[in-house]
Amino acid sequence: MAPYYAVAVDKRIFDPQKALDPYDEEFNWKAVAESPQIDNPEDMIKDSQVLDSLHTAQNNGSGKNNIKE
């Protein structure tokens, strides 16, 4: 198996400098401050429970995922 070689980003598709420009007049610092902590297990568990509840309600508690095979 050949080793993996990282290549530079194709800026035609994604420009990392434009993705986060803290000097942008419209940059929303409040949203950054209010965003959840990354990789916080408590937030992940809470989000998972919410999604599980929504999934159960969507399927009327049938336990089926309504995916046609």
51 pLDDT above the threshold of 90: yes
Give whole-number Cα distances, 31 to 4, 27, 28, 61, in Å.
Answer: 36, 9, 6, 35
For residues 62 and 52, what is the distance between their CA atoms, to the nearest angstrom? 13
Q: Which position has the higher pLDDT, 68 or 60?
A: 60
pLDDT at 49 over 90: yes
At 66, list the tokens. 């309504």
pLDDT of residue 65: 55
- Separation CA 36–CA 28 (nearest Å): 15
pLDDT tens profile 2-30: 788 888 889 999 988 878 776 778 888 89
Average pLDDT (43-54) is 92
Q: Which amino acid is at 7?
A: V
The token pair that represents 37 in the structure block: 């902590």
